[in-house]
Amino acid sequence: MILRKKKSLNAGPINGTGEGVAHSKRWYVALVRMHHEKKVSEHLDKMGIENFVPVQQELHQWSDRRKLVTSVLLPMMVFVHADPKERMEVLSFSTVSRYMVMRGESSPAVIPDEQMARFRFMLDYSEESISMNSSPLARGEKVRVIKGPLTGLVGELVNVDGRSKIAVRLNMLGCACVDMPVGYVEPIMAAV
């Protein structure tokens, strides 16, 4: 099946607001009701607003069985890639309370595209469980993964509880960390 974009019938301004300047889309963190992340995501999909709910498969064990369960990595949060108009539309959902803001500011915090791309890559290709660490981690050496399913990922090599992990920092949310053998990474040399 070939998908084609429809051509716009009115060749007006770039952003449709009467202005000649395009509003670029940015990543925001929408705070939602408990256990409503997937419902909000489905609703945003229907509206054509790009969004992302970080989930991962975890093995849960009960006394009588073991089962692979899909769990939300960041409860009560949905990443939304939106322009200013779409950002306001998202707030009209009864299950969305507000956007995350930086301390001391009133405007929604923006997650840089590069950080989101690295975070999504890590979630998509990691064979290990990813943990979010909100406590401040000491800055580690900048490294690139050279072996395994995360080959090409750039992050920081940090030690958490005596184990080597690669961390991808996300503004305000802390770090997404995954176990990483030291032999799987190479340092990134700073430009001289």
Domain 24-110 architecture? 2-Layer Sandwich (3.30)
Contact 123, 54 (CB under 8 A): yes
Q: How many whole angstroms separate alpha carbon 143 and alpha carbon 187?
A: 4
Confidence band of 28 (pLDDT split at 50, 70, 90):
very high
CA atoms within 13 A on the CB side of 74: 23
Domain limits, the chain: 24-110, 113-192
More confident residue, 59 or 87: 87
The one-letter code for the residue type at 30 is A
| Domain 113-192 CATH class label | mainly beta
Confidence band of 181 (pLDDT split at 50, 70, 90):
confident
Confidence band of 4 (pLDDT split at 50, 70, 90):
very low
pLDDT tens for 142-170 read 888 998 899 999 898 888 888 888 888 88
Q: Is the pLDDT of residue 56 over 80?
A: yes
Which residues lie across from 28 on neighbouring strands?
A: 80
Question: What burial class does residue 7 get, using C-beta atoms within 10 Å of its C-beta: 0-12 exposed, 13-18 middle, 19+ buried?
Answer: exposed
pTM: 0.75
Apex 100 CA angle, 121 and 107, nearest 5: 115
